[in-house]
Each structure stands twice: as C-alpha cells, then as structure tokens.
C-alpha cells in the first residue's frame, strides 16, 4: 500500500537559510543520479544494461540451439520465434488473438471496476457496507480466480460470458480493497480543509477524496489488471476456443497441437510484451500524477 504508512503529519522540515533552504528542498524532486564510483557496468543507464543482458540471453539461446542441434519440436531458436512473430503479426492471427484476449480483459475489468466502485461507496458510507466488503474480499481475494472457471462454464456455458465473469471476479477484489483503503486513509486534516471550504457530497468526493485516494486506486488497478491478465491467459488455455475466435491462450495451445513450436514461443513473447506495455502505461500514469505530487515515492513504484 503506497501511502497508508505515511504519517498524518509530515516531519517538520525547517526553512534553513531563507535564500538557499527552500530552493534546495525543491530541487530534490528532480530524479538525482547519484554518481557512485562503481564499475563500468553500474555506471551505464538502466535501459542500456537491460538491453545488453537481453541481447546476451538471446545470443546464448541461439548458440545453444545451433551448437547442440536441439530438436525444433522441443525448443525453437530465437530467429525462428522472431520469424513466427513477424508472420503472426503480418497475417493478423497474433493481432486477432491479442484483440480477443484484451477485449475480454477490458470488459471484465470494466465490470470489476464498476462492482468495486459500488462496493467501495457502500463501504465508505455505511458500516454494513464495510463489513460486507471485508467479508467478501477476505473470502474471495485469496481464492485463485481461475478456480471458479468450472463454475462459470456451468453457469454461463462455453462462451465469452464465462470468461468475462472469471475476469471480473479476478479484478474486483484487489481494486475494491485498495480503493476502500485509500478512501479510509484520507488524512483527517485534508477532509477538514474540504469541509471548511463548504465542500459536500459529489464535489467533496471529486475534488478531495478521489485525488487523495488516487495512490491506492492506481495500485488497485495495477494489481487488478495483473490478476486479470494472468487469469485470462490461464482460462483461455483451459478453455480453448471461445465464440468466433480464440485469444492468446488458445493461440498457444493450438500451435502446440499442430507442433508449430516457434508459434508457441511467439505467443508467449506476445503475452510478455503486452504485459510490459500495459505495466508501463500504469507506471507512466503514476509518474505523471501521484509521484509528481509526492504522494508516492519513486522507490515505492513496483
């Protein structure tokens, strides 16, 4: 939880010298790159270090397969994977599969967010609402979301609705827990300031509570999304084709069935890449908001 542990009153910082004091305090918001002596390695930028490692791994992978003559039915070489990836994108199959998966995830998340919003609202305003939320989250959050897939199939049949239901269930609880925690830990002083300005009802929520709870809300969305993403892929692997076309999980399973091993890898790479992309969108949102406002430290960003 990003900011719940922050004390209600920040430690008293003193002004220091009138000219230099406040100015230096403000400069600290800029990311400072501490010049550690370090090795040549540790002085490279993070992106460069990671790129070198990635290329190294790929070279090792390719070398292993070329030199040891591994059966292409077991393990695909990076170059073959790259080719399968390009082909999959070019003929649209990978794109279609990604769209199917992301669509189910998106619908599931929207439903999950709506349910979480209702539960959180009830939990914030009423005692019984809070009890219900605590009870439901403590029961359903530890349950791996994929475990209710058989029930979902039983209730909704072999269709997308079952998947959406599973995803909605996966994302609702982490979002609800975090948002309600965010609302309950809004500093008392900031609430009093809001009331002092005569803010009430919707405006109080929009202008004070919601922004004050934003660090928790983003954390909830990040966690919820990550849960949902893992669950949808797992569900698709079990589920196979749904409706008109299959998602990424189906793509992988299908490729395995027809022994198109490079495609299996291409599917995995796609899942990882989409994951990284969505994760960085959330990180960007955090940097533009709660980190910029000092409500969450850069170090706390996961």
Partner 1 sequence: MNDAPHGAATEALLLTVDHVELGYPVDGELSIAVGDASFDIRKGEKMMLLGPSGCGKSTILKAIAGFMKPSRGTITVAGRTKLEPGPDRAVVFQEFDQLFPWRTVLDNVAYPLRVTGTDKEQATEQARRFVEMMGLSHVTDRYPHQLSGGMKQRVAIARAFALDPLMLLMDEPFGALDAQTRSRLQKELNDIAERTPVTLLFVTHSIQEALVLGDRITLLSHPPSTVLEVVDVTEIHDPDTEEFIHMRRHLRELLADEGEDVDHAVFE
**Residues at the site binding partner 1, with contacts judged by CB under 8 A:** 8-10, 12-16, 21-23, 25-26, 28-29, 187, 189-190, 192-193, 195-199, 203, 207-208, 211-212, 214, 289, 292-295
CB of 218 to partner 1, least distance (A): 13
- CB nearer partner 1, residue 48 or residue 284: 284
163: nearest Cα among 246, 96, 95, 92:
246
- 138 Cβ neighbours under 8 A, 6+ residues apart: none
- Give min distance, CB of 116 to partner 1, in A: 22
- How many CB atoms are located within 10 Å of the residue 30 CB? 7
Smallest distance from partner 1 to CB 176, Å: 23
Least Å from the CB of residue 14 to partner 1: 5
CB-nearer residue toward partner 1: 190 or 269? 190
Q: How far is the CB of 199 from partner 1 (least distance, A)?
A: 7
Residue 244 is encoded by which pair of tokens?
């008109």
Measuring CA to CA, how many Å separate 268 from each of 96, 248, 262, 264, 265?
A: 15, 8, 10, 6, 5
Q: How many CB atoms lie within 10 A of CB 121?
A: 15
d(CA 6, CA 294): 11
Integer CA distances (angstroms), 111 to 175, 219, 294, in order: 11, 18, 31
The residue among 90 and 195 lying less far from partner 1, judged by its C-beta, is 195
Q: Which is nearer to partner 1, 154 or 192 (CB)?
A: 192
Nearer to partner 1, 129 or 187 (CB): 187
Q: Which two tokens stand for residue 14?
A: 């003193």
**Least distance (Å) from partner 1 to the CB of residue 183?**
16
Please identify, using beta-carbon distances, which residue of 46 and 196 lies nearer to partner 1: 196
């Amino acid at each position: 939880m990003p900011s719940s542990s922050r004390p209600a009153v920040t430690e008293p910082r003193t002004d220091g010298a009138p000219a230099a004091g406040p100015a230096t305090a403000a400069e600290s918001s800029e990311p400072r790159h501490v010049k550690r002596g370090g090795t040549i390695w540790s002085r490279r930028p993070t992106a460069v270090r990671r790129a070198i490692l990635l290329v190294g791994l790929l070279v090792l992978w390719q070398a292993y397969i070329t030199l040891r003559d591994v059966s292409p039915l077991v393990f695909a070489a990076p170059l073959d994977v790259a080719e399968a990836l390009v082909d999959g994108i070019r003929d649209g199959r990978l794109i279609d599969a990604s769209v199917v998966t992301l669509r189910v995830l998106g619908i599931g998340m929207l439903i999950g967010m709506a349910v979480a919003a209702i539960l959180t609202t009830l939990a914030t305003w009423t005692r019984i609402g809070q009890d219900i939320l605590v009870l439901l989250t403590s029961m359903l959050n530890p349950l791996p979301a994929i475990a209710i897939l058989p029930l979902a199939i039983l209730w909704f049949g072999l269709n997308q609705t079952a998947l959406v239901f599973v995803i909605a269930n996966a994302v609702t609880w982490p979002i609800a827990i975090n948002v309600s925690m965010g609302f309950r830990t809004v500093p008392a002083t900031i609430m009093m300031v809001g009331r002092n300005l005569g803010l009430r009802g919707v405006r109080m929520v929009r202008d004070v509570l919601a922004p004050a709870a934003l660090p928790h809300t983003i954390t909830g969305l990040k966690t919820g999304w990550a849960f949902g993403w893992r669950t949808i892929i797992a569900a698709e692997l079990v589920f196979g084709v749904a409706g008109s076309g299959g998602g990424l999980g189906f793509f992988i399973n299908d490729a395995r069935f027809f022994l198109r091993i490079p495609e299996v890898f291409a599917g995995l790479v796609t899942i990882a890449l989409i994951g990284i992309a969505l994760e960085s969108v959330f990180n960007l949102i955090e940097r533009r908001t709660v980190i910029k406002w000092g409500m969450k430290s850069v170090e706390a960003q996961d």
